A = this chain, B = another copy of it.
Amino acid sequence: MSRKKVTIRDIARESGVSVATVSRYLNKNSYTSPETEKKIQKVMERFQYTPNAIARGLAKQKSNTIAFVTPDITNPFFPELVNSIEKVAKAKGYSLLLINTNEQELQNLDFWNHFQSKYIDGFIMAESELNEKARRYLDEMEIPFVRIDRAVHPEHSNSVHVDNFEGARLAVRHLLEIGCKKVAHISGPNSLYPAQERLMGYQNVISNTKMTSIVLEGDFTLESGTAQTEKLLQEHPDVDGIFYANDLMAIGALKAFRAHQKSVPEDIAIMGFDGIRLTEIVHPEISTIKQPIDKIGETATNQLIHFIENPDEVCGENVLLKVELVERESTRR
């Protein structure tokens, strides 16, 4: 038996109906009599028919593909996130395209033209920012997207967002509860909104104590965790609790503590933020504020697909998810 690809026309001919009827059956959007449905169904099975997605895409101007756009997929947040995004997408009949591109290029209208030329139905972005021009262009082209993680910004809607402020408060209060007397914060880049929120959470709690606020700005990388901790230990050798704006920096800090013979949690207790798996792998295991990563991916994807399929519902909401304190060795006294 030759593997000639079977088309809708073959199915139509073989079932004795027109292609239009077969198409209707396929799309279940118009009535078809039960009998013809049965017939078509049978024939499709016999021929192992699978409608051609590309042809469909061309006719409907829709690819049933969404994209995940990021400048750096080695961000440790990424794999789990993609997992849940892909899961939901697949369940709803969408494929996931991975697009690795820098912030620069996202401002380029050509980039979006190519994007549209594939009829990509929408995308999720986790890190970059779009300038005014790009946003307007996307708007004209009616390509929906949702922001998560570092891409969240209060000026823009359509995002899935976690409670960074409350999370930071949880973290700092936890440090106070276990008896820390001098608590510092290594923040994320000030330009990022989630980093600002975490900083504000820290300050909010500290301002209700007699402590003074000690903040150094990091950049969310492992290396900056090590470096800023070094600096902090230099300037304030008596710090006994540190809240890091993300887990990676907290993990990087461990190297600095080792160099300074400080033991965690005995000399200094530390908290991270994110809940990446790495926190359980290092020693000591790091206490953290855990984000519901799967839920973020799921919610974002559901929301995106909702927009795609209901373009009329103009304005998207912002979802806010809860975070949770996870206590581990780094704060166990």
Q: Which residues of A contact B (CB under 8 A)?
A: 3, 5, 48, 50-55, 57-58, 63, 65, 68, 73-75, 78-80, 82-83, 86-87, 90, 95-100, 109-110, 113-114, 116-119, 140-141, 222, 251, 254-255, 258, 277-278, 281-283
Q: Which residues of B contact A53 (CB under 8 A)?
A: 114, 117-119
24 A–B contacts from the bound complex (CB under 8 Å): A3-B140, A5-B116, A48-B110, A50-B114, A51-B117, A52-B58, A53-B118, A53-B119, A54-B54, A54-B63, A54-B117, A58-B58, A68-B98, A73-B79, A74-B80, A74-B83, A74-B277, A86-B99, A87-B100, A95-B99, A96-B99, A222-B281, A278-B278, A278-B281
A109-B48, A110-B50, A283-B282 known; A86-B100 Cβ under 8 A: yes
Contacts A50-B113, A54-B54, A55-B58 given; 6 further ones with Cβ under 8 A?
A73-B79, A95-B99, A98-B98, A251-B281, A278-B278, A282-B283
* Contacting pair A3 B141 (CB below 8 A): yes
Q: Which residues of B contact A113 (CB under 8 A)?
A: 48, 50
Q: Taking the nearest CB of chain B, how far is it from the CB of A205, in angstroms?
A: 29
Name the CB-closest residue of B to A65: B97
Q: How many angstroms from the CA of A263 to the CA of B98 in the assembled complex? A: 42
Q: Which residues of B contact A65 (CB under 8 A)?
A: 97
Q: How many angstroms from the CA of A278 to the CA of B55 in the assembled complex? A: 45
Copies of chain A in the complex: 2
* Most chain B CB atoms below 10 A, which of A48, A57, A99, A222: A57
* Contacting pair A118 B95 (CB below 8 A): yes
Partner of A282, one of B58, B68, B282: B282
* Contacting pair B118 A100 (CB below 8 A): no
Name the CB-closest residue of B to A50: B113
Q: Which residues of B contact A222 (CB under 8 A)?
A: 281
A50-B116, A58-B55, A118-B54 known; A96-B98 Cβ under 8 A: yes
Q: How many angstroms from the CA of A190 to the CA of B98 in the assembled complex? A: 33
Q: How many angstroms from the CA of A73 to the CA of B83 in the assembled complex? A: 7
Q: How many angstroms from the CA of A281 to the CA of B247 in the assembled complex? A: 12
* Contacting pair B283 A281 (CB below 8 A): no
Q: How many angstroms from the CA of A119 to the CA of B97 in the assembled complex? A: 14
A90-B100, A98-B96, A258-B283 known; A74-B63 Cβ under 8 A: no
Q: Which residues of B contact A251 (CB under 8 A)?
A: 281
Name the CB-closest residue of B to A61: B54
Q: Which residues of B contact A5 (CB under 8 A)?
A: 116
Partner of A96, one of B52, B80, B97, B281: B97
Q: Which residues of B contact A117 (CB under 8 A)?
A: 50-54
Q: Taking the nearest CB of chain B, how far is it from the CB of A105, in angstroms?
A: 11
Q: Which residues of B contact A140 (CB under 8 A)?
A: 3
Name the CB-closest residue of B to A49: B113
Q: Which residues of B contact A82 (CB under 8 A)?
A: 73, 98
Name the CB-closest residue of B to A57: B54
Q: Taking the nearest CB of chain B, how far is it from the CB of A248, in angstroms?
A: 9
Name the CB-closest residue of B to A140: B3
Q: Which residues of B contact A54 (CB under 8 A)?
A: 54, 57-58, 63, 117-119
